Structure 1
């Protein structure tokens, strides 16, 4: 994965974060309870943190190519899909 690819992943993750947040606030808040909305909010918070971390790693990968940056970004992207998506 190149730094360009990781920037694209961060942009897509950010888009999904905003879209799901708006969907949750405007559509799901009418049908879900407080507990379920809390789950959505927690998932979105973790996705926001992961998105910022992936973006930071992509910028770092542009300055210095390292296998550690590569694997960190891979696992962060995987964690975003598996953990934030499961909530």
Structure 2
């Protein structure tokens, strides 16, 4: 499905841009622990951007095609990027520690997305 390929490409682009922003503009302006948190957000965003591209490719292939588990996996991973990485970006910039309570929700979305990808492969792959 081209939606997930485009979403993955956009998130890959954003991960590179936000990584550069953190390395060049935030260094020395925010505490080291927040700079590290920013790096974690960038890293997880990029890994999962690649997962979205892979899901899009799998959905358009003859290997798995358009099975509902792949669609669910894609949306869960996209939600995980927004919630996990997004909360870490905001936490890094603002220092609002309560945002750390939101981050695990994004992590659970990532895990559920990966599980749905496993289910799709086990159930439908030849």
Q: Smaller-chain TM-score range?
A: over 0.9
Please provide the CA RMSD for this pair. Answer: 0.8
Shift of 1:5: 1.0
Shift of 1:78: 0.6
Q: Find the aligned partners of 1:4 and 1:57 in 2 and give their Cα distance.
A: 10
Report 1 or 2 for greater relative contact order, CA contacts < 8 Å, sequence distance ≥ 6.
1
Shift of 1:30: 2.6
Unmatched 5+ stretches in structure 1:
none
So what's the TM-score if we normalise by structure 1?
A: 0.93
Shift of 1:76: 0.3
Which segments of structure 1 move beyond 4 Å, counting only runs of 4 or more?
none
How many residues end up aligned between the 2 structures? 85
The answer on 1:18 being equivalent to 2:19 is no
Q: Is the 8 A contact 2:6 2:53 kept in 1?
A: no
So what's the TM-score if we normalise by structure 2?
A: 0.65
Partner of 1:66: 67
